[in-house]
Amino acid sequence: MILNMYKPKGWTSFDVVKKVRSITKEKKVGHGGTLDPFAEGVLVLGTGPDTKKLGMISDTNKEYFATLKLGTRTDTYDIDGQVVEDKEIPMLTLKEVNTVLKSFIGEQYQTPPMYSAKKVNGQRLYKLARKNIEIEREPCLINIVDIELITFNSPVIEFNVTCSKGTYIRVLGNEIANQLGTVGHLIALKRKKVGEYAINETIQIDDLVNNGCFKEP
């Protein structure tokens, strides 16, 4: 079966996989695209034979709601990292911020961050990053399908973005801040859609037990 799960903040994607595996008693459970621990929202899971469908689901576009704080950069580009740089924020208008956001629409190359689950030469990048080892990463072609400014109240920018597989919104946030003449990091991230799977149709972890389909082990 395919499950449109809601990943809570503070959980890893694998935490959700383990929990669903335990509740459903399915030996084979996978997900269709990692969400960072600080992020929340849509995490599509497949169980049993339906795990074969996850590759196709993972290839679809994703939609996110992101909150970017300007003036401070962390080593992970998000709220879970250590502050590595502070920089003054220039006086910015709503129009200037919107123009910079719109400039990112289209295909472009993006370098995966060291703090990520991506494998390079068989090693997870975040494991190397935790040892203060940085290696060269091949930039990947991504596509920002659409980006929309929601609010700007310095130092915080809220925006929606629809993008292709492989896009790191943390990296995008860092690049937006750079284009605005400062630094920044994400303080919140919510995945609203993965292909046709929307956040308003997600299943909470507790719902798997409370709906009577499964029993807590």
Report the catalytic residues.
Answer: 36
CA distance 2 to 160: 26
- SS3 helix, strand, coil % of the chain, rounded to 5? 25, 35, 35
Q: Give the type of residue at 209.
A: V
Rounded to whole angstroms, the Cα distance separating 157 from 57 reads 29
Q: How far is CA 93 from CA 99, 132, 140, 154, 160, in A?
A: 10, 38, 32, 10, 18
